[in-house]
A and B are shown apart, each in its own frame.
Chain A
Amino acid sequence: MNNPYGYINGRVRMMRVALVDARAMDDVTNTLNYQEFLRQISETPLREDLGEATAQGAGLGQLDEALSRNYLKAISHLRSIATGQPAREIEALLLRYDLQNVKTLVRGVQTGRSADDIVAGLIPAGTLPWSALQGAAQSADVASLAQTLSVAGGKIGQILRAAVSGGANSLLDLEVALDQGYYRAVLSGVRGTNVRRYFTREIDVRNLLIARQLRGAAPNVRYFIPGGRDVSEADFLRIAGGDNSVSAPDLGAVLEAPDLGSSEAIARRLLDEASRNVAMADALGPGVALDYLRRKEQEIARMRLIGRAKFYGLSKDELQRELEGA
């Protein structure tokens, strides 16, 4: 029997070819001003989604919209090419958008924002139907929101319901429960060892970043994400207390960076590398899609950064410093 990923990954590789290549990225980076930047990205595969971003008087708002549109279109396209078991595995990769949407809903409902304000913060990505998200935005309280989302289906909605039933009522408690539940759901949703290895690495990296961020405050295990491979709960507490040693040598760089921003940049590079390794090792699994999503995300992030730098007239060196943080 043919592996369905043969076809899917072929399509994903075609999508990867349509990403902005390094040379085009350099051309965009070297543009002199915002107008030239817009002209340059009009020559990349992003052009079909630029829309009003290139219109007279358009600003960063229109550029952000255009880039988000392009990114969401790529996600939607990725979902459309998979069916059956691969579709479920790819959906597990898209749970992070559900997480973001559910967090937006919880924040909005908990702080008493209007349904319109909440819907404006939602993104049409992930596995939850848009109509369910819109309906959930009308919820009067978090308990009814959790009820609505768990009825609509989706793992994050169930995690929220479990958290509410478990007595979590503050925004922070709910968010921490959602974040930790998200990683649990992803690990249970992906079958391949390669993709699992990527997510365990992501959990380790996240734990290191959070532990570093917590330094100076009382060590607290509340933010520890279970499921990693190289960073245990004890390591988390030790690192949060100021220790820099970690069992995996490549992760040490995250802790030794001079500041949190640099740590994050190193973490980003580690995860890029991990996703590339997964794509190579998992040629007949969801690893290729995972790597594509990460590359696309980085491409859009770089475009946003370059666009902002050109709009505000940052020097080449300043932009380079920002991009090195990538």
Chain B
Amino acid sequence: MAGQISPTRSAMLASKASLKTAQSGADLLKRKRDALIGEFFALVKDALAAREELSGVSKGAYTSLFGAKAWDSPEAVESLSLAGSGDYAIDMQIDNLYGVKVPRIEIPERDTATTFSPINVGARTIQAATDFGGVMDGIVKVAATETKLRRIGEEIKKTSRRVNALEQVLIPGIQDDIRFIRSVLDQREREASFTLKKIKAKLEADAKKDKENMQAGNHGSAAD
């Protein structure tokens, strides 16, 4: 980079301005990263709780299904599964969290009214149907928290990469440029100063010589 830059005073001023911008950018990104990490850890707790809840309701639901299929026959249970419409609507909105788009999912109120007649259906099967409603809610909850967590995690990684790029590549590069420009300018200054000194010395030497010649001329005419 240093080789491509013209070592001028204006280039040095521009590089210094870039350095300042890069440093404040890195600082801002670090603060964003810290805030996202804070959010991430706050969400991890929710995500773990949602996972645990899902695992609990799933265990109960599969136990109910276990009994339902044994007592009411797999065919009857599968027939009952046709009674559900299969539609599950959720209300999802997009929130902006430090510039990261994350989903906010509202779990819908579950309709507890059954669509099938309970007359010839075993208690285990009805329990399984209710429990799997809970599993559905649990899955949505896990999906909501884990999607949020993944988005924030990805943003933390992206921000860290940007901070590293600024701190490890861009800022050192600009600093190198500044050092290069400064060294070239110093060198030029030293050369100019040396040249001036040389000129001065030459001028002084010439003046001295002229003076000596003048003095020598005066002495000769006096002797004559």
Q: Chain B nearest CB: distance from A324 CB in Å?
A: 12
Do B115 and A171 touch across chains, with their CB atoms under 8 A apart? yes
Can you name the residue of chain B whose Cβ is closest to the Cβ of A97? B75
Chain A 52-90 near chain B by CB (<8 Å), digits 1 or 0: 000000000000100010000000000000000000000
Main secondary structure of the interface of A (DSSP, over half): helix
Interface residue B78 (Cβ < 8 Å from any Cβ of A): yes
Measured CB to CB, the nearest residue on chain A to B115 is A171
Distance of A202 Cα from B70 Cα, bound (Å): 20
Given A209-B123, A213-B123, A308-B66: A107 touches B82 (CB 8 Å cut-off): yes
Interface status of A31 (Cβ within 8 A of chain B) = no
Q: Is the CB of B79 within 8 A of A111?
A: no
Q: Chain B: how many interface residues by the 8 Å CB criterion? A: 29
Considering only CB atoms, which chain A residue lies closest to B86 in the complex?
A111
Interface residues of B in 95-137 (CB under 8 A from A): 114-120, 122-124, 126-127
Q: Is the CB of A68 within 8 A of B74?
A: yes
> Are the CB atoms of B66 and A312 closer together than 8 Å?
yes
Cα of A14 to Cα of B120 in the assembled complex, Å: 30
Write out the residue numbers on chain B whose beta carbons fall within 8 Å of the beta carbon of A117. 82
A209→B119 CA distance, assembly (Å):
9
Please tell me which one of the listed residues A68, A99, A312, A325 contacts residue B120 in the complex, with CB atoms under 8 A apart: A99
* A-chain residues with CB within 8 Å of residue B118 when the two chains form the complex: 210, 213, 223
Contact of A325 among B67, B73, B85, B117 (CB under 8 A): B67
A108 at the interface (CB under 8 A from B): yes
Contact B116 A175 (CB under 8 A): yes
Q: A175-B117, A179-B119 are known contacts. Are A100 and B75 too (CB-CB below 8 A)? A: yes
Q: A273: CB under 8 A from chain B?
A: no
Across-interface contacts of B124 in A (CB, < 8 A): 261, 264
B69 contacts the other chain (Cβ, under 8 Å)?
Answer: yes
Q: Which B residue's beta carbon lies closest to that of A307? A: B70
Cα distance A175–B74 in the bound complex, in angstroms: 19
Is the CB–CB distance between B117 and A178 below 8 Å? yes
- Contact of B41 with A by CB under 8 A: no
CB of A301 within 8 Å of the partner chain: yes
Contact A113 B82 (CB under 8 A): yes
With A107-B82, A121-B75 in contact, do A172 and B123 touch (Cβ < 8 Å)?
no
Q: List 13 A-B contacts (CB under 8 A).
A: A64-B69, A64-B74, A104-B82, A111-B84, A111-B86, A121-B75, A172-B117, A176-B117, A264-B122, A264-B124, A304-B69, A304-B70, A312-B66
Taking Cβ atoms with an 8 Å cutoff, the residues of B that contact A are 66-67, 69-71, 73-76, 78-80, 82-86, 114-120, 122-124, 126-127
- On A, residues with C-beta under 8 Å from B are 64, 68, 96, 99-100, 103-104, 107-108, 111, 113, 117-118, 120-121, 123, 171-172, 175-176, 178-180, 182, 206, 209-210, 213, 223, 225, 260-261, 263-264, 300-302, 304-305, 308, 312, 322, 325
